[in-house]
Amino acid sequence: MAVALALAILFVGAWRTPGARSATLSPAQIDRAIEQLGDESYQVRQAASRQLWEAGKAAEPALQKACASPDREVADRARRIQTKLRWEIYPDTPAETVAAINLFRKGDEGSKLRACQRLVRLGDARRVFRLIALIPDSNSRERLFRQFQSQLDEAVSSLLEQGDFDGAEQVLQSSPNEQQLAAWAALLLIRQKLDPAIEETRSRLGQKAEPLQQRRLAYLLRAKGDVRGALDAAEKADDPSLVDDLLFRLGRWGQLAKRIEANASNGPMQSSEINRLGYLATYHRLAGDKKALDRDAAKLLEHGRTMPNESWFAAKALLINGRVDDALDLCATKDRRQLFEILCVQGRYREAFRRVGLGEPPAARKDSMAAAWAKDAVAARKDYELGCEAARVLERLGEHAAAVEFADQMGALASGVSGTRRSALLASLCRCEVELKLDARAVAHAMAIFGRRPEDCPYLYYGLFGAYGQTNEIGKILWGALREQYPDESEGAILKRLRDLLADRPSESSIKELRRLAERADNNLVAAGNGPQRRERSLLAISSFFAARHCDALAVRYARKAAAESGSSQLAAIQLGNLLAARGNWADAARAYQAAVTKNARDPVALYLLGRANLRRGKEAEGHRQVETASMMLSLGGGYARWRLIDCLGRAKRDDEARSQCELTIRLVNSREWVVSGCRQSLANLASQRGDHLAAADYWEKLLAPCIETSRGFAEAANYIRLPSLIHRERARGLLKAGKYAEALEELRKAESVQPADPQVAFDIVPELQRAGRRADADALFRRAFDRQAAICRDFPRSALHHNSLAWMAACCKRELDKALVHARRAVELDPKASYIDTLAEVHFRRGEVDEAIRQEKRALQLDPDYAYLKRQLERFTRSLERGAAEDTQPPVDEERRSSP
């Protein structure tokens, strides 16, 4: 305990670099002192020894030569001085410290531990890490490092805070720990010292090959971007985890597969048999070894059948590797909901209902849910979620009455359950009822979960909207304000108002009401005597809510209020700074970030943002120093700190910097860390937007592969269909652009086989095939996609969603426009919402009926006047009318108008 306490407080003192107080001697003076080591006079010999000792590192080369002197006196004295310098014992080193160092030098492992503890108590922890690094036995060295591992980052943070960057490098360099070696390499990269460090490390390896030095070289080369060189060093260091990481970066899938087969890997794939099998299948697929993949898939299928508790993990590995039918067979035996979800995302709706025992939609047998109701709690919960999901799917298929009947059945089943199980069931039912627009029932069930008023239910808005975080918080805030504003309305009416206010694009009248409600909520917080933390959290939720809806002035206003309440918290100050930075107000942004730094000087994110703001406002020297220090401190925080920074940069609308940080994070952080997946997602989106489809596919492929692990993956089973389909689609687009038509068509075939009912495949690729002169291939692809969507529309003629999808795809592909008009009109007839009316307008436009397109677009804008996309569409149609002909162009890009259901 005493050691831990000492470690916690020792870092407030100053740190010095070895030899920092050494005497300055010229080369001639050093040579003269070396000669005097053998002088006849004892006093001269002593004075010369003292001089060389005080000279420190500057004298080391001369001392090394003197050790080989034929004069025994000279050689002995040179060796003794060298030993002192090696152990960092200087003339001004305190006697107690020297005693501890000598105990460390001469004692066994227990003595070394006691010596380190004594140095910690003396306030010289930096020396501890330097001493441990000198232990020749790697096992003993790593055991001792582990004793003080948790204090190393604290020590380095203190050094960086004090500006002792050299000291920080020395401490990190001495660690054998993976994260700290990566941090050391990152520091050198930031300080532009990577190349000299690589040369020095290679030089040492030339003198003596040592695994730790090879590991250091590997981390240095990885930070430099020389992944092949890093791999060579990692293999020589026999570091399996690092080798796996580097092979993964290089995409050497065959080698990774061989390492798993030879049990040479040491990564997460070795933690269980199911992980091993999943990675093996994935690497064989990526290596193009179909025969091996067939063998792996058979083993996965067998494993899932014999190990029921791991059947889903086997199923998701099969999905990732394109074996959808095998995965569905496994799901059918264990988890009917996942089977149902996967079949629905493939557009196989009738089969989905039939295979889970629900009969044929729309006349699905809701009573079968009661018949299938299991006594086992886990099975019962899964069956219940299946029933709620079936109701949601029926709603999307236009079968509202059948959907409500299913929801009624789920409510009846939940009524027979008590306690926490009932609360869990009702939470699922709430989300289902909200989608079915059964507002009053949703509120009643949500309140039944907690037995309290809606404004007092901490998880009510997760139950209602399926969202955590600030949506949950703003929902509570607005509910209370709405109840005061409209005291005579029912809870169902209040919920409808709340849902309208929480829309992504509220109308101008809604914004005015939101402003009033926010003021009321703010006054209520004051009147209720809430503490600073509670007020800060609520005000930040209001600020974030307005920011997401582009009400910048209101977002800044409430962020300022939150910052005034924040106490020791940095959140409000950083959020305020981000909002001001997004508006280009760098002086005020810097003041906000400075407030955050004042609260916690060791937060690298706040310091980095402050530095960038200072650079933007012309404070070059100060800004560069802050950015450099923060960048080095970020290296210690691993992936989480970097992800916080990336998120803040995005909120401040500094997309180029966010992209650079993503790229740097991928270079410096191990590929298996979650933050790397987040960075790959961001970079994939950016690559796709700029038309680099092959790069996007590669990012997404490397994001998908780690989902094999039992501890990782997607919340929705359907994403194991959507992402592989997206990867094949992007790769097909990239190959088309490169003129590799045969390979592109093969990727296209894979995309269709994984998600056959996705009209986005045709929407993205038909125009590109057309531009490439592949008219026959474009026609064939469109015909397949059109026929699949038409079949769904025949099966479910009341599905506005699918009528709209078919019409939109046909319009954008400029084919079957007469049929597209029929389906677009039917969609609007079934559900006259703005986006469906826009589809009708697009169809008219493609048919050359520009006047009618303009009329329909104006109708859509009346329903959703703040939807910027609709305004751009109207401008496009109007320009075309003025020119006298329809423009032969795609509609503006807008994620909400992508055609996939």
pLDDT in tens, 626-673: 998 888 888 876 678 888 899 888 888 888 889 999 999 998 888 888
**For residue 739, what pLDDT is reported?**
94
Report, as an integer, the average pLDDT of 849-873.
91
Name which residue leads in pLDDT, 262 or 266.
262
498 CB-near residues (< 8 Å, 6+ apart) = 475, 478, 479, 482
Going by the DSSP 8-state scheme, the letter that residue 891 receives in this structure is P
**Inter-CA distances, 245 with 265, 269, 665, Å:** 10, 12, 14
Q: Which tokens in the block code for residue 409? A: 């059945």
Q: How far is the CA of 737 from the CAs of 694, 743, 772, 891, in angstroms?
A: 10, 11, 8, 21
Q: What does the DSSP assignment read for 649-663? A: HHHTT-HHHHHHHHH
> Which tops the pLDDT comparison, 579 or 158?
579
CA neighbor of 188 nearest in space, from 210, 219, 209, 215: 219
Report the amino acid identity of residue 560.
R
Residue 380: per-residue pLDDT? 65
- At 292-318, the pLDDT tens digits run 999 999 999 999 999 988 999 999 999
Evaluate if residue 367 carries a pLDDT over 80. Answer: no
**842 Cβ contact list (under 8 Å, min separation 6):** 808, 811, 812, 853, 873, 891
Give the other-Cβ count within 10 Å of 363's Cβ. Answer: 10
Among residues 171, 121, 122, 123, which one has the least CA distance to residue 145? 171
Residue whose structure tokens are 């609308």: 653
* pTM given for the model: 0.82
DSSP string, 196-258: HHHHHHHHHHHH---HHHHHHHHHHHHHHT-HHHHHHHHHHHT-HHHHHHHHHHHT-HHHHHH
pLDDT band at 17 (very low <50, low <70, confident <90, very high): very low
Closest CA to 421 of 473, 362, 377, 390: 377
H helices of 458-585, in order, are 460-465, 469-485, 491-501, 508-527, 532-548, 552-565, 571-582
Residue 612 banded pLDDT, cuts 50, 70, 90 = very high
More confident position, 144 or 810: 810
Which residue pairs, CB below 8 angstroms and at least 24 apart, start in 81-86?
Answer: 81/49, 81/52, 81/53, 84/53, 85/19, 85/53, 85/56, 85/57, 85/59, 85/60, 86/134
At residue 522 the predicted structure's pLDDT band, cuts being 50, 70 and 90, is confident
178 versus 124: which is more confidently predicted? 178
Q: Which of 15-24, 417-426, 862-871 has the highest mean pLDDT?
A: 862-871
Task: Return the ∠ at Cα 802 (arms to 751 and 732), rounded to 5°.
Answer: 20
Residues 630, 158: contact at Cβ < 8 Å? no
The predicted-structure confidence for 682-694, as pLDDT tens digits, reads as follows 999 999 989 999 9
Residue with tokens 């994001």: 703
Q: How far is residue 113 from each of residues 119, 132, 151, 391, 510, measured CA to CA in Å?
A: 10, 10, 15, 65, 67
Residues above pLDDT 70, as percent of the chain: 88
Its sign, for the CA torsion 156, 158, 160, 166, is negative
Examine the pLDDT at 21 and tell me if it is beyond 50: no
Instruction: Report DSSP letters for 760-826, one per residue.
Output: HHHHHHHHHHHHTT-HHHHHHHHHHHHHHHHHHHHH-TT-HHHHHHHHHHHHHHT--HHHHHHHHHH
In angstroms, how far is CA 859 from the centroid of its own chain?
A: 40
How is the chain split among helix, strand and coil, in percent rounded to 5? 75, 0, 25
DSSP per position, 198-212? HHHHHHHHHH---HH
pLDDT at 473 over 50: yes
Tokens of 865: 């006047």
Mean pLDDT in residue range 783-809? 95
Two structure tokens written together for 226: 């020389």
At residue 8, does pLDDT exceed 60?
no
Query: 24 vs 271, which has greater pLDDT?
Result: 24
Query: Three-state DSSP class for 832?
Result: coil
pLDDT at 662: 92
- Residue 892 gets which letter from DSSP? P
State whether the Cα torsion 871-876-881-882 is positive or negative.
Answer: positive
The CA–CA distances, whole Å, from 793 to 406, 805, 824 equal 22, 10, 12
- Let me know: does 629 contact 187? Beta carbons within 8 Å: no
Residue 271 confidence (pLDDT):
57
For the ranges 22-36, 118-132, 201-215, 260-274, which has the lowest average pLDDT? 260-274
Does residue 459 register a pLDDT over 70? Answer: no
Between residues 599 and 265, which one has the greater pLDDT?
Answer: 599
Burial 852-891 (b: 16+ CB within 10 A, else e): bbbebbebbbebbebbebbeebbebbeebeeeeebeeeeb
Q: Are 646 and 665 in contact (CB under 8 A)?
A: yes
Q: What is the pLDDT of residue 465?
A: 61
Gap between the Cα atoms of 163 and 47, Å rounded: 35
Confidence of residue 2 (pLDDT cuts 50, 70, 90): very low
Pick from 719, 815, 711: nearest CA to 767: 815
| Radius of gyration (C-alpha) of the chain in whole angstroms | 33
Residues whose CB is less than 8 angstroms from the CB of residue 395 and which lie 6 or more positions away in sequence, other chains included: 403, 435, 436
Q: Which two tokens stand for residue 320?
A: 């990732």
What is the structure's pLDDT at 887?
Answer: 57
pLDDT mean across residues, the chain: 84
Q: In Å, what is the CA distance from 760 to each residue of 151, 781, 805, 817, 900?
A: 52, 11, 9, 17, 6
DSSP string, 78-102: HHHHHHHHHTT--TTS-HHHHHHHH
- Tokens representing residue 741 in the block: 């038509």
User: What was the pLDDT predicted at 369?
Assistant: 60
pLDDT of the residue at 194: 93
CB 352 within 8 A of CB 344: yes
Phi, then psi, of 70 in degrees rounded to 5: -70, -20
Report which of 630, 650, 651, 652 is spatially closest to residue 641, judged by C-alpha positions: 630
Q: Report the candidate in 216, 222, 172, 175 with the shortest Cα–Cα distance to residue 197.
A: 216
- Give mean pLDDT, residues 380-386: 77
What does the alpha-carbon distance between residue 850 and residue 843 come to, in Å, rounded to a whole number?
A: 10
Among candidate residues 46, 54, 49, the one with its CA nearest the CA of residue 93? 54
Helix axes 311-320, 324-334, angle to 10 degrees: 160
Q: What is the per-residue pLDDT across 61-75, written as a single tens digit (0 to 9) for each?
A: 889 899 999 999 999
| Predicted local confidence at residue 469, as pLDDT | 44
The one-letter amino acid at 383: D
pLDDT in tens, 553-572: 889 999 998 888 766 678 88
Tell me the mean pLDDT in the region 200-212: 84
What is d(CA 474, CA 862) in angstroms, rounded to the nearest whole number? 28
Indicate the pLDDT class of residue 12, thresholds 50, 70 and 90: very low
Q: What are the helix (H) ranges across 25-137?
A: 27-36, 42-55, 60-66, 72-86, 95-106, 109-121, 125-133
Is the C-alpha dihedral spanning 439, 445, 449, 454 positive or negative?
positive
DSSP result, 286-328: HTT-HHHHHHHHHHHHHHHHH-GGGHHHHHHHHHHTT-HHHHH
